[in-house]
Amino acid sequence: LVKNEISEYFTFHYPGDYEGIAGVAGSFYVLRSDGTIFETRPHQSTDLTKQISSAGGPPAEYEGLCYDGRYHRLLIVPKSNPGKEYGDRKKHPVYGLNLISGNQGWEKVLEFDLPEIASYALENNIKLPDGKSEIKLRVSDIAIHPLTGMLFVISAANKMLFVFNEDGSVNYIEKLDPDLFNLPEGISFHENGDMMISNEG
């Protein structure tokens, strides 16, 4: 393992349930679980932190955040499918927030097909440890592979890694080793495609 040390730190805003972070051109965008997004610029003396968006989707617990450089937008994903109460029970939405337009509104940019996930798991004999429960998408974080453009979604609830094509279709599902990934909550990539998964605990 490579030994990494903290090179710098700064105080961010107020206490809260913060779930995701994305670095873009000197700014950090931080997602609070209620869907509020903050921008902080730690190297500027003024306007250190500001709220740039309130939740633009239905009420939910939002956990996934990443930067999509192709479209200069943030991707925001709820932990569970809010469509169970507000829309399509079979689709898990991914929202986009454009960082160029100045518009603080979200728009739905992708949907993960939940029956397709269940079918893929069944066809590939992917089961949870109890062998009975259905594979379900419970998003902890999201990241875009820098070389392929595929979307990687980590799920702490069932210790799974989901890989989706750019159109949101299922490409791959992998069970994570619980001895290595006791509570996988974060995912990111180096520019060369090396994947990093962080754990709570």
What's the pLDDT score for residue 152? 98
Q: Which tokens hold the place of 19?
A: 């779930």
Phi, psi at 44, each rounded to 5°? -115, 140
What's the pLDDT score for residue 53? 80
What's the pLDDT score for residue 77? 96
> What is the reported pTM?
0.90
pLDDT: is 36 or 132 the higher one?
Answer: 36
The residue behind tokens 């440890």 is 129
The residue behind tokens 């599902």 is 173
Give Cα 133 to chain centroid, integer Å.
23
Band (pLDDT 50/70/90 cuts) for residue 1 is low
At 160, the amino acid letter reads M
Question: Tens of pLDDT along 145-168?
Answer: 999 999 999 999 889 999 999 999
At 39, the amino acid letter reads E
What's the pLDDT score for residue 26? 84
Q: Which of 4-8, 66-70, 128-132, 149-153 has the lowest average pLDDT?
A: 128-132
Give Cα 164 to chain centroid, integer Å.
12
The beta strand positions in 54-183, using DSSP E, are 62-68, 73-78, 91-98, 107-113, 141-144, 151-155, 160-164, 170-175
Pairing of strands 18-24, 27-32: antiparallel
Kindly give the residue spans of alpha helices, DSSP state H, lying in 27-152. Answer: 83-86, 114-123
What is the separation, in whole angstroms, between the first and last Cα of the chain?
A: 18
Tell me what the pLDDT averaged over the chain comes to: 88
Give Cα 39 to chain centroid, integer Å.
17
At 140, the amino acid letter reads S
The answer to whether 38 and 50 are in contact (CB under 8 A) is yes
pLDDT: is 128 or 173 the higher one?
Answer: 173
Q: Which of 43-47, 98-102, 112-116, 144-148 has the lowest average pLDDT?
A: 43-47
pLDDT: is 61 or 8 the higher one?
Answer: 61
Taking 90 as the threshold, does the pLDDT of residue 98 lie above it? yes
Taking 90 as the threshold, does the pLDDT of residue 51 lie above it? no
Measuring CA to CA, how many Å separate 6 from each of 9, 10, 49, 120, 195?
7, 11, 21, 41, 20
